[in-house]
Amino acid sequence: MTLERLRSLVQERDAAHPDPLDPEALAAGTALPEATVRTLLDGGEPPADTVNERVRTRIKALADARLQRTGTRMSDLAGDISRQLGVSAFWARQVCSGEKVPSVELLHGLVGFFGVEGGEAFFTAPAPEALNRALLPVLTALRPARSAAGPSADPSVDPLSDPPAGALSRYGDVRGVALRQAHGLPPERWHVLNATLKALLELDDAEGQR
């Protein structure tokens, strides 16, 4: 699992350093409840839910986050969605408040409106899959540091090879892949990636001073 590989990498660098995986930031980037993210990070099982429940709660989480970030009202957000996606402001408000499940067409439009990555699956994927998708760019960005650990490292035996989606093991230097995967991330996802990389850069600085 991506999370296990990340934890292993961080522990190898400095076991005493605080875990850079911030549940609050991950919750914001995935639109999952923070309690669910913490459960997953602890290796537990998330609460059972349906696809409709996932869609409703994640749209509401994104809407609430935007209202808090911009200081606007729900009526303003509903009006923006109404004008951009061609639905009534009343229906948009019900969707954003988590009262109604959007149609497939409206869900597709909300992907673009909120700037989320992964298409409609951002709203419909089970919680473990949603968290795993958010962690993949972080894992990709950290692999070069792991592979450069020393000349004695055997590149044919890499515990980070063959990660989920089977993509990373096909590249010798994945920095370009990491940048391409990170391109176009919404602000919430950039916060996750930036916080994690910042923590690991601090680890490098600490190791260089020893």
Among left, alpha and beta (phi > 0; psi -120 to 50; other), residue 118 is: left
Q: What is the pLDDT of residue 59?
A: 98
What would the pLDDT profile of 75-114 be if each residue is shown by its tens digit? 999 999 999 999 999 999 999 999 999 999 999 999 999 9
Could you identify the residue written with the tokens 């696809």? Answer: 51
Per-residue pLDDT of the chain (210 residues; tens, 9 = 90+): 566 666 665 555 554 444 557 889 889 999 999 999 999 988 899 999 999 999 999 999 999 999 999 999 999 999 999 999 999 999 999 999 999 999 999 999 999 999 998 999 999 999 999 998 888 877 776 665 444 444 444 443 333 333 333 333 333 333 444 444 554 555 555 555 555 555 555 545 544 554
CB atoms within 10 A of CB 162: 12
Q: Return the structure tokens found at 146.
A: 């792991």
Q: Return the structure tokens found at 157.
A: 């035996």
**CA-angle at 31, arms to 13 and 96, nearest 5°:** 165
CA-closest candidate to residue 12, choices 153, 132, 129: 153
How much of the chain, in percent, has pLDDT values that exceed 90? 46
